[in-house]
Amino acid sequence: MLELLHALSAWLEGFASSPWAVLVLASASFSESIFFPIPPDPLLIATSLLQPNLAIFLGAVVTLASVAGAVVGHWLGQRLGRPFLYRFFAEDTVLKVERLFQRYGAWATLLAAFTPLPYKLFAIAAGVLNLDRRTFVIASLAGRGARFMAIGILIFIFRDSIEEFVSNNFEILTIAAAAAAIFAAAAWVLVHRARRSGRSSTLP
Q: What is the pLDDT of residues 46-61, one digit of tens each?
A: 888 888 899 999 999 9
Residues 62 and 22: their CA atoms lie apart, in Å, by 9
Give the span between the Cα atoms of 120 and 107, in whole angstroms. Answer: 16
99-118 average pLDDT score: 76
| pLDDT over threshold 50, residue 203 | no
12-36 residue pLDDT tens: 777 778 888 899 999 999 999 998 8
Could you give the angle at the alpha carbon of 150 between the alpha carbons of 146 and 38, nearest 5°?
80
Quote the pLDDT of residue 178.
58
Q: Which residues contact 19 (CB under 8 A, 6 or more apart)?
A: none
pLDDT at position 118, please? 83
pLDDT (0 to 100) of residue 172:
60
pTM beyond 0.85: no
